[in-house]
A = this chain, B = another copy of it.
């Protein structure tokens, strides 16, 4: 078998895993969303990719059941066909993490369904509200919910999903509902922290005492992106009745995976194909969003770093040529490689977490296969 064939086979296996978990979780997710008031339910259905704005059900996307936007980016080609920071999440990575972690802890997949539904609801809630906060007008090649339905209604729909997530967990059968709610609420507090930091970073300077240290960026990413992946993994293990050490190990693996994903997403935001990422080229740089490749490049203290700092701190916004030049200097100063190295290191830590506690072999193998898939195989 060639390396390319091996990759294809591994990709097909991951696609099978995701499809299996979607088939399990999707009906429960749809069922709970259908129980919402009709208006937030319609907006939620649009956000999940189940229907168009105005209420028409989308056709030709049976694989989309229970996943956000999966119909636009199905297949096994990693995150390259997905859009922006929501990336592979559109294929149901969070629900799969919850299900696989329950199975790895020795419980049937069914045990994780309420946890999986809750994290998918929370994930979509964050997309709705984050798009308002960030002023992002499109998501997955369609108008963001706030553009399609208005800001107020989008706030409301997010709130409805948020409340529903807690309701689903609190009503989950079995003895672990209370602990699950504690975990979700704690991780959500971290997630809000991360979003707050990310928004505040935009107003901070590129250089000088107010600049964002790489460590602060990584902490932000662990909260903003890692907390919910960690929550998915932790909830799966918790609902399976796993010992606390196992729950913590799987939660930490999820968080590390989240940082890896964010680092790669930052790289794609600078050098990815906009047609594939769904993001405008250099969009992050244009709005002074602090991303790992740029921060790492600025911290490298090389001649290219200093030229980059001078370019970014010069007067006025950069034009297209200036943005291209900045991206080239980020690469020259080692920012791209530093971000990819960080992603690799985080994936290694995630693997170490999985291998450090006793887990069932087959679902663990599926989990290990899922990790590189989430970051799109670019590292």
Interface residues of A in 309-356 (CB under 8 A from B): none
Residue from the list B156, B186, B200 in contact with A199, Cβ < 8 A: B156
Residues on the B chain within 8 Å of A166, using CB: 166, 181, 184-185, 188
Number of interface residues of A (CB under 8 A): 41
Chain A at the B interface: SS class: helix
Among listed A19-27, A58-66, A127-135, interface-contacting one: A127-135
- Cα of A199 to Cα of B25 in the assembled complex, Å: 32
- CB pair A167–B152 under 8 Å, yes or no, is no
Residue from the list B129, B178, B192, B197 in contact with A181, Cβ < 8 A: B178
- CB pair A196–B132 under 8 Å, yes or no, is no
- CB pair B196–A129 under 8 Å, yes or no, is no
Q: Which residue of B lies closest to A150 (CB)?
A: B133
Residues on the B chain within 8 Å of A133, using CB: 152-153, 155-156
- CB pair B185–A129 under 8 Å, yes or no, is no
| Distance in Å: Cβ of A154 to nearest Cβ of chain B | 9
Bitwise interface map of A from 167 to 186 toward B, beta carbon under 8 Å scored 1, else 0: 10011000001100110111
Q: Which residues of A contact B (CB under 8 A)?
A: 36-37, 39-40, 129, 132-135, 151-153, 155-156, 158-160, 162-164, 166-167, 170-171, 177-178, 181-182, 184-186, 188-189, 191-193, 195-197, 199-200
The 4 residue pairs across chains A and B that have the minimum distance between CB atoms: A133-B152, A178-B178, A167-B185, A163-B188
